Structures are given as C-alpha cells and as structure tokens.
C-alpha cells in the first residue's frame, strides 16, 4: 500500500524563464497529492555559485537543460522513490551525495534545486498546509513574518541596456503593513515612469530584466536623484529608503572599479559610497566590492552605519558565510537557493547568518519564473527583507502578490527594522 507522504514518482521537463531561456520544472508525486517547482537563473552570478548544468552546443545558444532533466528522471528519481517527502534533510542529503562534487557540477544545481523545492511543496500540499507553514516546521526556530519588499525600480549593470554601472536601484518602503509598502512601491514606480517619459521620451520607460526602468543616464547620482524626486512627487517623502546592489564583481577589471566614467581603487570606491550615504537616504548597499575582497567588505561594514549585504561574496554557502562572520564582513545575507542547490543548505546558511545577527534578504534571480516559492521561504524562515524586482512583470509580482495573500492570512509585517 502506498503511504500518503511516500514519493511515488518524479517528472522533470523543460520550461522557459523570463529571459526566454530554458529552465526546469519538476513535479514530485506522492501518495496523496503532488508539488511542482520551477528554477530561476542569474546573470550576474557569483564565481563560487553552484553550477547550473547547461547542454552547450548550438540549440538554445547552449542553454538547453536536457542533461539536467535526464539527471532528475534517470539518476535522482530512482533514489527518492519510496522516501517520505517530509524528510527534506534526508532528501537533500541524497541529492548532495548523488552529486558528490563541491559545487553540484555533476547533476547540476538547477536539477537539485528543482527537486529539492518540488519535494518541499509536495510535502506542504500532502499535509494540506501553506508552504510557509511547512517550511517553518522543517525547523521550529522561526516566527513567521512578512518581509519588507525592496523594489528594484531602475535597472543597470548586466540587467539592462542602460549605461549605469550600479546594477540595482531599489526602493525600500517604510510603512506599517506590506499592503501599504506595495502602495508606496507602485506609486513611486509609476511617478518615476511619468517623469522619465517627460524628460527623455517614451523609450526611457523601457524596462530591464527585473522590471525596473532603464533610462538613458549613466551616473549613479542621477538615478538616485530621479528616484527621490519621484518619491517626493508621489507624496511618499518620509516613507522610503534607498538601497543599491552594486554587483561590484561585474565592474571590477584589472584591479579597478569602473563606475561613473572613473576607474576607482577600493579606497576610492569606499569614499564614493561614503559621500552617497551622507547625501542620500541609502540604508543598504549589496556587493559593494569584488566577491573575493572580504577585507574591504569588513572595512565598510565597520566604517559605515548602514546595512552591507553579501550576495556574490557569500553565494548562500555556509563556508563562505562562516569566513565572513569571522572577519566581520557584511551584516546581512542575500539568500538564493539556487546558488547552493538545495533547500536544506540554504536554510543552514540562513540559520548561521541569523545566529550572528545578520539580517536576511531572500532574493529572486534576474531570470525568473512565475513560481512564488521565495515568498513563502522568506516568511517561513522569518527573513526581514525580500527583493523581487520592480512592481512590474508577472514573474516579479507573483512573489509580491503571494506576500499580500500571506499578510491577509494574518501573518504580521516586519515593519521598519532599524
Ligand atoms: P542575478 O542578479 O540573478 O543576475 O545574479 C541578482 C543579484 O545580483 O542580486
Ligand atoms: Zn546581487
């Protein structure tokens, strides 16, 4: 007899992400019900991220995922069939062992992530509880909270055709509820669109990969000033902070940081940030330096009274986070499950960071799908923050809309956390 939570089959297939590249959708069937998950994909990926397995060759510009899909259907499925789907740690342990490499390069982190997340959802469905409730039950340490959204309303770097060096200009609303934060984000976004249209013409409202505008400007301060103007014009002057993701590894060439027409040393860049922080309400800077420069991250964390978030430097990897904690680099962790390849490892990363009082910002990828998994993940692990792009494009809104639903279920909002 098949038990309710017993895994009876896995089915993986190719679907497409928001950039039109192949990705994986996996369904896990259990005795009573099923669960599916789709995997996102980054563009400004960290050097130490787990490996996304791509087919290479001509088809889909080498981005096909048929090998990763075959790994799920032929190698992973036979090992998981018969297991209890509620045993997330055991399932992920098998994935890690089957892969046997330090960076998931054999099976592909896209394959392991798809399976890991689909199992989690199948377990929640079979238990007939919300996904975040199930994620919370994997470890009982967390109090459910709806996180503060960080809206990426101007896209630069490798995410758009604009000349801005900084990859993301985000708006972090300062409100008492998530619904109100959405209102602020949406109104500022539309006001900014109107302003850009008037100033630069209609094409300035074209959007980048994460739904933010990609105007024809090239200076960091210009983008910041435009956003602040939109904040004021929309009547939300005291209701928003700014946040930047510099994704500095992308602008680091031959020992210098190329930004705003200058080639700066790490020291010069630090001074540049110092001035920005003095002049504008910036509360967070993500990846301010090259991903290997723990020392410079630590210097900035110590010197400035703002949040310093580690993305490419940590890649959701406990070893790198441990090192960061030791040398006091950053005070917040950007959490992306597919950077490490299993839910259990991502949760371990979050726990380690939380134990050292690092804040957690759960994150989407620039290549996304309509899967809202990270909304439940953020709530389930009690993360203070989430970034899911602009309030534009359905793959971005899928996460924000899910958080609206969770708030309506009665989960309280983190609110402002300073
Ligand atoms: P990515 O960008 O998904 O392209 O890596 C997101 C980020 O850098 O935070
Ligand atoms: Zn980043």
pLDDT exceeds 80 at position 324:
yes
Does residue 281 sit in the same domain as residue 338?
yes
Same domain assignment for residues 93 and 184: no
Q: Residue 24 belongs to what domain range?
A: 7-128
Question: What is the three-state SS of the chain?
Answer: CCCCCEEEEEEEEEEECCCCCEEEEEEEEECCEEEEEECCECCCCCCCCCCCCCCCCCHHHHCCCHHHHHHHHHHHHHHHCCCECCCHHHHHHHHHHHHCCCCCCCCCHHHHHHHHHHHHHHHHHHHCCCHHHHHHHHCCCCCCCECEEEEEEEECHHHCCCCCCCCEEEEEECCCCHHHHHHHHHHHHHHHHHHHHHHHCHHHHCECCCCCECCCCCCHHHHHHHHHHHHHHCCCCCCEEEEEECCHHHHEECCEEEECCEEECHHHHHHHHHHHHHHCCEEEEECCCCCCCHHHHHHHHHHCCCEEEECCCCCCCHHHHHHHHHHCCCCEEEECHHHHCCHHHHHHHHHHHHHCCCEEEEECCCECCCCCHHHHHHHHCCCCEEECCCCCCHHHHHHHHHHHHHHHCCCCECCCCC
Instruction: Specify whether 268 is located in the same domain as 388.
Output: yes
Confidence (pLDDT) at 69: 98
User: Among 104, 336, 387, 399, which one carries the catalytic annotation?
Assistant: 336
For the chain, the domain total comes to: 2
> Residue 184: inside a domain, yes or no?
yes
Q: Report pLDDT for 418.
A: 46
Kindly state whether residues 214 and 320 are assigned to the same domain.
yes
Q: Grade residue 141 by pLDDT with cuts at 50, 70 and 90.
A: confident
* pLDDT tens figures, 207-237: 999 999 999 999 999 999 999 999 999 999 9
* 286 Cα nearest atom in ligand 1: 9
- Residue 345 is among the residues annotated as catalytic for this protein: no
Residue 287 CA, ligand 2 centroid: distance in Å: 6
Q: Which ligand is nearest to the CA of 368?
A: 1
Q: Whole-number mean pLDDT of the chain?
A: 97
Catalytic residue among 49, 52, 191, 210: 210
Mean pLDDT of 300-321: 98
Would you call 336 a catalytic residue per the annotation? yes
> What is the reported pTM?
0.98
Confidence of residue 341 (pLDDT cuts 50, 70, 90): very high
State whether 162 and 19 are in the same domain: no
Q: Is residue 234 part of a domain?
A: yes
Specify whether 92 is located in the same domain as 179: no
Report yes or no on 278 lying in a domain.
Answer: yes
Q: Residue 221's domain is classified under what CATH number? A: 3.20.20.120
> pLDDT per residue over 369-418, tens digit each?
999 999 999 999 999 999 999 999 999 999 999 999 999 999 999 987 64
Confidence of residue 1 (pLDDT cuts 50, 70, 90): confident
User: Are 170 and 108 in a shared domain?
Assistant: no
Cβ of residue 250 lying under 6 Å from some atom of ligand 1: no
pLDDT at 417: 67
pLDDT in the model for residue 415: 85
**Residues 164 and 121 placed together within one structural domain of the fold:** no
| 157 and 60 co-located in one domain | no
Same-domain pairing of 160 and 305:
yes
Which residue among 128, 162, 195 closes a domain? 128
């Amino acid at each position: 007899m098949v038990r309710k939570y017993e895994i009876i089959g896995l089915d993986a297939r190719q679907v497409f992400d928001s950039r039109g590249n192949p990705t994986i959708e996996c369904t896990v069937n259990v005795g009573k019900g099923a669960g599916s998950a789709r995997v996102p994909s980054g563009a400004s990926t960290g050097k130490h991220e787990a490996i996304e397995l791509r087919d290479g060759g001509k088809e889909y510009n080498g981005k096909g995922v048929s090998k990763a899909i075959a790994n799920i259907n032929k190698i992973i499925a036979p090992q998981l069939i018969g297991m209890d789907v509620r045993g997330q740690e055991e399932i992920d342990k098998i994935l890690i062992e089957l892969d046997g490499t330090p960076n998931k390069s054999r099976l592909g982190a896209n394959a392991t992530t798809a399976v890991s997340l689909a199992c989690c959802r199948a377990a929640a469905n079979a238990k007939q509880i919300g996904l975040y409730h199930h994620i919370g039950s994997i470890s009982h340490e967390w109090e459910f909270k709806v996180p503060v959204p960080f809206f990426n309303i101007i896209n630069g770097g490798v995410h758009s055709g604009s000349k801005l060096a900084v990859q993301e200009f985000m708006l972090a609303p300062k409100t008492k509820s998530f619904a109100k934060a959405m209102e602020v984000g949406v109104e500022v976004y539309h006001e900014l669109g109107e302003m850009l249209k008037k100033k630069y013409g209609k094409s300035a409202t074209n959007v980048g990969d994460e739904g933010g505008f990609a105007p024809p400007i090239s200076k960091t301060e210009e983008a910041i000033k435009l956003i602040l103007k939109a904040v004021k014009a929309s009547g939300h002057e005291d209701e928003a902070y700014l946040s930047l993701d510099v994704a500095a590894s992308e602008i680091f060439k031959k020992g210098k940081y190329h930004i705003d027409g200058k080639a700066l040393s790490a020291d010069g860049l630090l001074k540049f940030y110092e001035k920005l922080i003095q002049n504008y309400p910036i509360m967070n800077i993500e990846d301010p330096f090259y991903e290997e420069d723990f020392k410079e991250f630590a210097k900035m964390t110590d010197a400035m009274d703002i949040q310093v978030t580690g993305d490419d430097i940590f890649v959701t990897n406990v070893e790198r986070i441990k090192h960061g904690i030791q040398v006091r680099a950053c005070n917040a962790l950007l959490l992306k499950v597919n950077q490490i390849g299993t839910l259990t490892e991502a949760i371990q990363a979050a726990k380690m960071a939380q134990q050292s009082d690092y804040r957690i910002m759960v994150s989407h990828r620039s290549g996304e799908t309509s899967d809202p998994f990270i909304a439940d993940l953020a709530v389930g692990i009690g993360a203070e923050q989430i970034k899911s792009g602009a309030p534009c494009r359905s793959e971005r809104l899928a996460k924000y809309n899910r958080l609206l639903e969770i708030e309506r279920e009665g989960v309280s909002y983190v609110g402002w956390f300073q």
